[in-house]
Structure 1
Amino acid sequence: MATPMTRTEKPLAKQDFEQLSEFRYQIRRFERFSESAAKSEGITPLQYLLLLHIKGFPGRSWASVGELAERLQAQHHGVVALVSRCETLGLVVRRESASDRRQVEVHLEPAGEQVLVRLAQLHRAELKSLAGRFTVPTIEL
């Protein structure tokens, strides 16, 4: 939660609002591109993000439901339902952890890997096309 402005902070200038507006605009354009790309592959944008976070989880090729919930900033039960839908589509599989039987690992299936690779290549190309326009605003405090 944001803290209220204190007396030591500078008020925002018009340029600060312009930078923030442009930043949010470029983020939203990228999100719209991503939504469209995922739908063209027959999956939802959230399913794409789930696949991406499994493959991109640091240090290993799988992730737990709890870790995915954190990455997706979603409720645990919602991620369980999302994993179930992806499992029905043959994109992921759940496996009981060999080291901790209470933990469930979510792994990509070959079909999920194929969809993810195609989408990730499109996303990388789109990000490259945004070079120079997608900058983080620098606001003086």
Structure 2
Amino acid sequence: MNGMATKKRAEPEPLSKQDFEALAEFRFSIRRYLRFSEEIVRGHGLTPQHYQLMLALKGFPGREWATMRELADRLQLRHHSVVELVNRAQKQGFVVRAPDPTDARAVRVELTEDGQSILGRLSALHREELRRMGAALTPPAWGRTPGDGAATAP
């Protein structure tokens, strides 16, 4: 032991066979969607990472730009990896860097018109695939039973 007090976590409730099947099916659906995304994006000459970068920019809450730090968080990447990703996207004409007028240490990353255009086309295809997949991407209900704290229909 390292001398620090450790908290014991309550053991999670075991999964039933039905729970395993639901989890496996949900994971399969996620993977099918991601595979679709990878193929459609590559078919348009982009890497999946560039699509994710552009989507993170366009979908950033409340504005259409983000800092490197914010992108690193949104993409779950290290700062230096985001810098390299942005460098490559900038060389392809999808994004530009702009100084942040409120923080001299920060750089804003914004989509170009070309980036907006290709992102719009690809995202529309992704939306159609999500519509087609429908309930397959709904998380499992985990075999809830009345009285377990879950909301039940009247």
Specify the TM-score bucket, using the shorter chain as the normaliser. Answer: over 0.9
Say if 2:55 is the partner of 1:46: no
State the match for 2:151 in structure 1: none
Instruction: Write the mapping of 1:1-141 to structure 2, written as runs, cut at 5 A.
Output: 6=11, 9-139=12-142, 140=144
User: Which structure 1 residue ranges, 4+ long, deviate > 4 Å from structure 2?
Assistant: none
Relative distance call for 1:77 and 1:48 in structure 2 (3 A) is same
| Secondary structure at 2:42 match in 1 | helix
Q: Which runs of 5+ in 1 are unaligned?
A: none
TM-score normalized with structure 2 length: 0.85
**Alignment coverage as a number of residue pairs:** 137
Structure 1 or 2, whichever has the larger Rg, is 2
Q: Relative contact order: is structure 1 or structure 2 higher (C-alpha 8 Å, sep ≥ 6)?
A: 1
Q: Matches of 1:72 and 1:132 in 2, distance apart?
A: 25
| Secondary structure at 1:131 match in 2 | helix
| Secondary structure at 1:106 match in 2 | strand
Shift of 1:135: 1.6
Residue type at the aligned position of 1:73: Q
| Secondary structure at 1:20 match in 2 | helix
Shift of 1:56: 0.2
Q: Matches of 2:9 and 2:139 in 1, distance apart?
A: 22
What's the C-alpha RMSD, in Å, of the aligned pairs?
1.4
TM-score normalized with structure 1 length: 0.92
Q: Matches of 1:112 and 1:77 in 2, distance apart?
A: 22
| Secondary structure at 2:97 match in 1 | strand
Shift of 1:40: 1.1
Percent of matched pairs sharing the same residue: 47
